[in-house]
Amino acid sequence: MKKVMIVFGTRPEGIKMAPVIKELKRFPEKFEVKVCSTGQHREMLDQVLDFFGIVCDYNLDVMSPNQSLSDVTCKILKGIDEIFTVWHPDMVLVQGDTTTVMAASLAAFYHKIEVGHVEAGLRTGNIYSPWPEEMNRLLTTRLSMIHFAPTAGARDNLLREGIEETAIHITGNTVIDALFDAEKILDADLKQTASLKKKFSFLSDDKRLILVTGHRRENFGDGFQQICHAIAKIAVREDVQIVYPVHMNPNVRMPIHDILGQCANVNLIEPQDYPSFLYLMRKSYLILTDSGGVQEEAPSLGKPVVLMRDTTERPEAVKAGTVILTGADCAKIVSVVTCLLDDKSFYEKMAKANNPYGDGKASWRIRQILS
């Protein structure tokens, strides 16, 4: 029996690892699975775990106000180190590119525990964009023995960096597994669906919904001001309504509320749990984001994505035509959104493009590889 510890700390990691946890736990004769949450984004992560029915065996609860990335890294290293003295797994599975991923991988390396990296091989080529995620990915690659690449492009990135081909496996992205699971849960729960409809009863069926998310560190300052001014210009239109779940980070909240707080057609709401956010994605006409995961989820729902970043580690979506890069540039954002709203053929081309991120069976493939 293989002892596997799955470590995550943020909501996107929790979403993407939920189907992996469920798949491995379906085979208790093969895997002893323990789940560790670092609590890097505790409140938002807990909502996801509740929705998917995931129970953590260990909670590090590392988050506190105004701490630096160094503080977070040190707490995670120390916390996981202490767990390993009590329970020593054969493998640690991590997902993505957060500080949790990098620190957990380093802690495992110090104990000579094999690391498996889910969503391996994503690259922008710029260590400061996204920051610190790009460097977290590079470091985690060097600390990992098995690389679960979501796409052929991600595999090629790893090969160029000298990773052995036999250590790389193309699986698709587990976020599609999670999305399909979540849709089944919501569609089967009529009470929750009715509750969500009531929660968002302020939405008008006569207006097209633009869903906005934004929280990346590299957009702090002028970037968020540019994004907010673009949203304000788009909101002047009478045929749209904008919903923006605002991240809890004060560097995000302050410029958004200062610029958009009094804008008609703009609904600034609190961060949403996963089922609520999925409901909004399904209702939306298009999505403005600087998020990584939304680039992968939205194409499966037929929603064009305007990506407010200068670079992306997910070029497959841009190549497939489901995502357009604008950067945090007010004029570019307004121009692309206007085209999507006014040019039906342009919109349809993006909405109907094929999702390059898989078929919802990534978790099954990961389990097969680990068996």
Q: Which of 23, 46, 133, 177 is catalytic?
A: 133
187: annotated active-site residue: no
Q: Which of 13, 23, 46, 97 is catalytic?
A: 97
Rounded Cα gap, residues 186 and 301, in angstroms: 15
* Reduced DSSP (H G I as helix, E B as strand, rest coil) percent helix, strand, coil of the chain, to 5: 50, 15, 35
- What pLDDT score does 170 carry? 98
Instruction: Summarize pLDDT for 193-210 with one digit per residue, the tens.
Output: 999 999 999 999 999 999
Q: Check whether residue 248 and residue 339 sit in a common domain.
A: yes
Q: Which of 46, 119, 177, 313 is catalytic?
A: 119
- What pLDDT score does 217 carry? 59
133: annotated active-site residue: yes
Give the residue from 314, 279, 273, 308 showing the smallest Cα distance to 293. Answer: 314
If one counts the domains in the chain, the total is 2
Q: Which parts of the chain sit beneath pLDDT 50?
A: none
Rounded (10°) angle between helices 293-300 and 174-188? 60
**Residue 367 belongs to a domain:** no
Rounded Cα gap, residues 165 and 297, in angstroms: 28
Q: Which of 170, 203, 235 is the last residue of a domain?
A: 170
- What pLDDT score does 218 carry? 55
Whether the ω angle into residue 132 lies within 30 degrees of 0, i.e. cis, is yes
- What pLDDT score does 219 carry? 55
316: annotated active-site residue: no
**Residue 182 belongs to a domain:** no
Q: Check whether residue 144 and residue 262 sit in a common domain.
A: no
Q: Which residue has 């775990």 as its token pair?
A: 49
- What pLDDT score does 120 carry? 98
CATH of the domain at 319: 3.40.50.2000
Q: Which of 41, 123, 216, 247 is catalytic?
A: 247
Cα dihedral value 255, 307, 211, 273, nearest 10: -80
- What pLDDT score does 257 carry? 84
CA separation (Å) from 366 to 95, 146, 148, 340, 369? 12, 10, 7, 37, 5
Query: Hey, is 307 helix, strand or coil?
Result: strand
- What pLDDT score does 310 carry? 85
pTM score, whole prediction: 0.88
**Residue 294 belongs to a domain:** yes
- What pLDDT score does 82 carry? 97
Q: Check whether residue 82 and residue 135 sit in a common domain.
A: yes
Rounded Cα gap, residues 62 and 77, in angstroms: 10
- What pLDDT score does 222 carry? 74
Domain span holding position 165: 2-170
- What pLDDT score does 181 carry? 95
- What pLDDT score does 153 carry? 95
Q: Which of 11, 41, 117, 215 is catalytic?
A: 215
